[in-house]
């Protein structure tokens, strides 16, 4: 299997894991367990970002174009109201 496909597969799996951690955090009443899930999520987010940067640098992943300032302001305005 090509490296590109492996990296993208791991990125997708990591995104799925992050959603699972978020769900567990929201459903956990025990603060110690909740903190453990939050630490795991934070670690997974850091890993995902580093892998994303690697994929981007090798051309395996091309993110969407940056939003224009007026588009950002429009969203900010909509969320403020």
* pLDDT tens-digit series, residues 11-62: 999 999 999 999 999 999 999 999 999 999 999 999 999 999 999 999 998 8
What pTM does this model have? Answer: 0.75
Backbone φ and ψ for 70, nearest 5 degrees, come out as -70, -30
The interaxial angle of helices 31-57 and 3-27, nearest 10 deg, is 160
Task: Quote the CA–CA distance of 75 and 78 in Å, as a whole number.
Answer: 5
| pLDDT band at 6; cut points 50, 70, 90 | very high
DSSP letter, residue 60:
S
Whether the Cβ atoms of residue 21 and residue 40 lie closer than 8 Å to each other: yes
Per-residue 3-state assignment (H helix, E strand, C coil) for 25-40: HHHCCCHHHHHHHHHH
pLDDT at 63 (0 to 100):
83
pLDDT at 1 over 80: no
Q: What is the CA radius of gyration of the chain?
A: 17
């Amino acid at each position: 299997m090509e490296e590109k496909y492996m990296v993208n597969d791991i990125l997708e799996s990591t995104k799925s894991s992050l959603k699972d951690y978020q769900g567990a955090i929201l459903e956990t009443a025990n603060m110690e367990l909740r903190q453990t899930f939050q630490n795991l999520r934070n670690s997974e987010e850091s890993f995902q970002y580093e892998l994303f940067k690697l994929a981007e640098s090798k051309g395996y992943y091309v993110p969407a174009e940056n939003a224009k300032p007026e588009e950002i302001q429009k969203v900010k305005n909509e969320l403020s109201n």
